Chain A
Amino acid sequence: MTIEIRNISKSYGDNKILQNIDLKIESGELVALLGPSGSGKTTLLRVIAGIEQADEGSGPVLFDDVDVSDVDLGKRRIGFVFQHYALFKHMNVFENIAFGLRAKPRRERPGEAQIREKVQTLLDLIQLGNMAQRYPSQLSGGQRQRVALARALAVEPRVLLLDEPFGALDATVRRELRRWLRRLHDTIHVTTIFVTHDQEEALEVSDRVAVMNAGRIEQYAPPQEVYEKPASPFVFKFLGNYNLFHGRGQSGDGAALVRPHDIVIHRDRDSAGPDARLGLVSHIGFGGPVVKVELETEDKTHVDVEVTTPTFNDLALKRGETVWFALRTQQEYEYDFVI
């Protein structure tokens, strides 16, 4: 199912949470809403779900080109997974998943046997087949997350909405679960939107990323494009570490943003090229496959550089040495946009 929202705004009093948001999601896509806290990503997700209403004067929310703005939360046929799962704590896993099926009006309600079969299928899908009788308090965080997902899927939603789905989990479980989510999505192909503040997560899992900042979408593109061609300095900065160089723009005053791994260190001037500059190695941080080198330029600014460990070994850098460095690629912006 496609989702399209047009000109959505949302404010609490004077506080503008969303400002004129337009977004179109193709059927079967997995889209990440990425942004820092307070960027409005969760609110946008809740507007799509129908948990929050957009301000007066906003455009429609279209599911398959049908306006659902005035359709109740329960009738939108969305599956919503809350950040803290909101599992019903007095019901066991089975009853949690079966809740939506049992809540259907009598005409549409499946029989008890069908409910059992359906829940069992979902339990197998989330690999918790033998935990049907457990209560939420007896599950780990990752298991709860999967139960919440199965509960949402039980009613065969047209769209799956996940609010910070991995936010409350520790690092290892996060990585595992997001791969599982990607595989799950590839199996069931339901249009999915998830909210995250973790750029790595967004880039790794999604088909497209909407980067949000201060209630606006800064860029909406596939992960690779977002990373390689950031539409704004904000996107560039939000997606990773960077160095900021002033006054190096080709069209007069401006600034350039450079990723630490897009800086190349040379021992001698000739191989470094014409634009190379001098830097003093002020600190070396070892950390696995990448070595972080901190350079101090003549005008006393610090430049972070990342080199692969083999390259570092070839260079045989030492603290206090002076080296040349050159920029491999850079993003240039006019000053107004940077600061």
Chain B
Amino acid sequence: MSRTHRVIPGLPLTLGYTLFYLSALVLLPLAALALKAGQMSAPEFFRVITDPVVTASLRLTFFASTLAALINAVFGLIVAWSLVRYDFPLRRLFDAVIDFPFALPTAVAGLTFANLFLKDGWLGGFGPRLVEGVNALAGLTGAGPLLPSGALDWLTFPYTGQTGGIVIVLVFVGLPFVVRTVQPVLLEWDPEYEIAARSLGAKPATIFARVIFPEIAPAWVSGVALAFARAVGEYGSVIFIAANIPGRSQIAPLQIVTRLDDFQYAQASAIGVVLLAISLLILLVINGLESFSRRHERTA
């Protein structure tokens, strides 16, 4: 520590307070988790996390989180690109609502999605509801029913209580991550490169693949990783929409809650350690990516 900055007062006070508060409220509790899990022997730990109910929940968590992250990878990129590059009506409104999943309590999100994707919900029964709506409108104008009832019965998404519902809410909670990590890079991107590439005769698709995408790829990957990490830990919204049947539709965080309710603290902490390890691993990957892209920038 150099003496230079000591001219500004308050380091002992603020640093001491920060370290105390951080240790007492974050590090100590996390250490308790490690300690509790550490009290188990290795075979015991292994037995807990290979319990069929636990592995099923971990598998479901990974499967749904991966699928949700992939959907966000594609649509997040499309959304970020459209918002930055194209002008369209209500563009700023759509930009503002991107942050909505950050702001909306997860319980509310779970509640409304569970309701929407019920068999006869607006989206769960999208086809029949659409027919209903169109025919009602037609009735107002005096014409007869436009669409025969049952015409769109195949267009339904009754996902509440199914894995599809879990994926849906995980897409929602992870949605802002990809958009908000890619967007700043796209905003800083100077279209002159594209004009130059275009003047050299490159096709737009080639320009995107060879010129633009490499530039946004690190941000995109870390955005997808963040969305995945968020999805793995998500609890509130999922339990509203999932059927929560042990061994079939329980996500890993719900397994923790179930074990806690049964006072199986060691088992709960073992699953907790697995989840924590995953989030820390993703954190490391993202930090690695960021320092890689910084180095890359410096040499470029």
Interface residues of A (CB under 8 A from B): 12, 50-53, 72-73
Contacts of B4 in A (CB 8 A): 51-53
Q: Residue of B at shortest CB range from A55? A: B3
Whether the pair B2, A73 counts as a contact (CB closer than 8 A) is: no
What are 13 A-B pairs with beta-carbon distances under 8 A?
A12-B2, A50-B7, A51-B4, A51-B7, A52-B3, A52-B4, A52-B7, A53-B3, A53-B4, A53-B6, A53-B7, A72-B7, A73-B7
Contacts of A52 in B (CB 8 A): 3-4, 7
Q: How far is the CA of A12 from the CA of B1 in the complex (A)?
A: 10
B12 to chain A, nearest CB (A): 15
Q: Residue of A at shortest CB range from B3? A: A53
Which positions 1-23 of chain B face chain A at CB distance < 8 Å?
2-4, 6-7
Contacts of A53 in B (CB 8 A): 3-4, 6-7
Contacts of A73 in B (CB 8 A): 7
Q: Residue of B at shortest CB range from A50? A: B7
B65 to chain A, nearest CB (A): 45
Q: Residue of B at shortest CB range from A43? A: B4
10 additional contacts (CB under 8 A) given A51-B7, A52-B3, A53-B3? A12-B2, A50-B7, A51-B4, A52-B4, A52-B7, A53-B4, A53-B6, A53-B7, A72-B7, A73-B7
Contacts of B2 in A (CB 8 A): 12
Q: How far is the CA of A12 from the CA of B7 in the complex (A)?
A: 16
B31 to chain A, nearest CB (A): 34
Q: How far is the CA of A52 from the CA of B5 in the complex (A)?
A: 7
Q: How far is the CA of A51 from the CA of B4 in the complex (A)?
A: 7
Q: How far is the CA of A52 from the CA of B6 in the complex (A)?
A: 8
B11 to chain A, nearest CB (A): 14
Q: How far is the CA of A51 from the CA of B3 in the complex (A)?
A: 10
Q: How far is the CA of A73 from the CA of B6 in the complex (A)?
A: 11
Contacts of A51 in B (CB 8 A): 4, 7
Q: How far is the CA of A331 from the CA of B76 in the complex (A)?
A: 69
A43 to chain B, nearest CB (A): 9
Contacts of A72 in B (CB 8 A): 7
Q: How far is the CA of A53 from the CA of B7 in the complex (A)?
A: 8
Q: Residue of A at shortest CB range from B2? A: A12
Contacts of A50 in B (CB 8 A): 7
Q: Residue of A at shortest CB range from B4? A: A52
B213 to chain A, nearest CB (A): 39
Contacts of B3 in A (CB 8 A): 52-53
Q: How far is the CA of A155 from the CA of B6 in the complex (A)?
A: 23
A11 to chain B, nearest CB (A): 10
Q: How far is the CA of A162 from the CA of B3 in the complex (A)?
A: 22
Which 8 pairs, one residue from A and one from B, show the smallest C-beta to C-beta distance? A53-B3, A52-B4, A73-B7, A51-B7, A53-B4, A12-B2, A50-B7, A53-B6
B286 to chain A, nearest CB (A): 30
A31 to chain B, nearest CB (A): 23
Q: How far is the CA of A73 from the CA of B2 in the complex (A)?
A: 16
Encode contact with A along B60-73: 1 for CB under 8 Å, 0 otherwise: 00000000000000
Q: How far is the CA of A50 from the CA of B4 in the complex (A)?
A: 9
Q: How far is the CA of A78 from the CA of B7 in the complex (A)?
A: 14
Contacts of B6 in A (CB 8 A): 53
B264 to chain A, nearest CB (A): 53
Q: How far is the CA of A219 from the CA of B81 in the complex (A)?
A: 60
A13 to chain B, nearest CB (A): 9
Q: How far is the CA of A12 from the CA of B3 in the complex (A)?
A: 10
B237 to chain A, nearest CB (A): 41
Q: How far is the CA of A73 from the CA of B3 in the complex (A)?
A: 13
Contacts of A12 in B (CB 8 A): 2
B2 to chain A, nearest CB (A): 7
Q: How far is the CA of A97 from the CA of B2 in the complex (A)?
A: 32
B293 to chain A, nearest CB (A): 27
Q: Residue of B at shortest CB range from A12? A: B2
